[in-house]
């Protein structure tokens, strides 16, 4: 495989928001490494992305698995150009319910998926991103900053991810690596449907509604936006929600 000039990794990229982000990066000439748990859905996404991206490599597997994370980084390394963008989009809702009765086993799964795996992947990716400059994008939620009844476990995990992201932005600035948070807003996705079982969510926008934001974000110099939090469906210009 020939080397590409820019490389991006997107987790949770077989459908929904992750596929939209990967599509935006591929259209901009990034070689892509995409990850998701469902190998068939991931293969379909790779086939679509191959029409625009200069190179696409797919790694199927649970991102909480260390071997999956290593395979993702090795795929990026194999493209021969370092790593410019890492998007930690893979996430898990874990169900909706009050904290006092929430199943402990489900709760203990949320932090490895939504916090531990992104951090572990960042640790592996950092050596490939130093001095590029590199950009880490962690997907968050308004549940991280608001006390929505029933959303406590998921919101707690996302709140932890937000603090880690801001800390990473401070720690990695001198190494040429930026870290930002993006709240994509309510969307018509499978995960959002899981939060409202049996309800009609057709009034929510599709993930493609965020495409303008992604095109803007990937035009910015990483150092200029590091440490910021963005709302992807907020009115242009700038999308900055919180520093």
- Could you list the active site residues? 154
Find tokens 């495989």 and name the residue.
1
56 φ, ψ (degrees, to nearest 5): -135, 125
The residue count for the chain: 243
CA–CA separation, 49 and 12 (whole Å) = 14
> Tokens for 74?
């090795």
**What does DSSP say about strands 240-242 and 229-231: parallel, antiparallel, or unpaired?**
antiparallel
> Tokens for 136?
């880490």
Asked whether the beta carbons of 36 and 14 are under 8 A apart, the reply is: yes
CA–CA separation, 68 and 77 (whole Å) = 14
Angle between helices 152-172 and 117-129 (to 10 degrees): 20
Residues facing 87 on adjacent strands: 10, 137
């Amino acid at each position: 495989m020939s080397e590409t000039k820019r490389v991006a990794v997107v987790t949770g990229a077989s459908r929904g928001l992750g596929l939209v982000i990967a599509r935006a990066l591929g259209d901009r000439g990034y070689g892509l490494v995409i990850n998701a748990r469902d190998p068939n859905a991931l293969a379909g996404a790779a086939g679509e992305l191959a029409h625009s991206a200069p190179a696409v490599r797919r790694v199927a597997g649970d991102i909480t698995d260390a071997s999956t994370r290593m395979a993702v980084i090795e795929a990026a390394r194999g493209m021969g150009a370092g790593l410019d963008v890492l998007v930690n989009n893979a996430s898990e809702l874990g169900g909706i319910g009050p904290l006092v009765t929430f199943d402990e086993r489900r709760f203990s799964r949320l932090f490895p998926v939504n916090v531990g795996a992104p951090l572990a992947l960042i640790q592996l990716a950092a050596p490939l991103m130093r001095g590029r400059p590199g950009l880490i994008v962690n997907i968050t939620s308004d549940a991280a900053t608001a006390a929505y009844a029933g959303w406590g476990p998921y919101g707690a995990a996302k709140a932890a991810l937000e603090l880690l992201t801001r800390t990473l932005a401070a720690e990695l600035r001198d190494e040429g690596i930026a870290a930002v948070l993006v709240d994509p807003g309510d969307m018509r996705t499978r995960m959002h449907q899981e939060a409202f079982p049996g309800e009609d969510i057709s009034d929510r926008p599709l993930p493609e509604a965020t495409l303008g934001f992604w095109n803007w974000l990937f035009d910015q110099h990483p150092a200029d936006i590091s440490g910021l939090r963005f709302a992807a469906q907020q009115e242009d210009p700038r999308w900055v929600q919180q520093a």
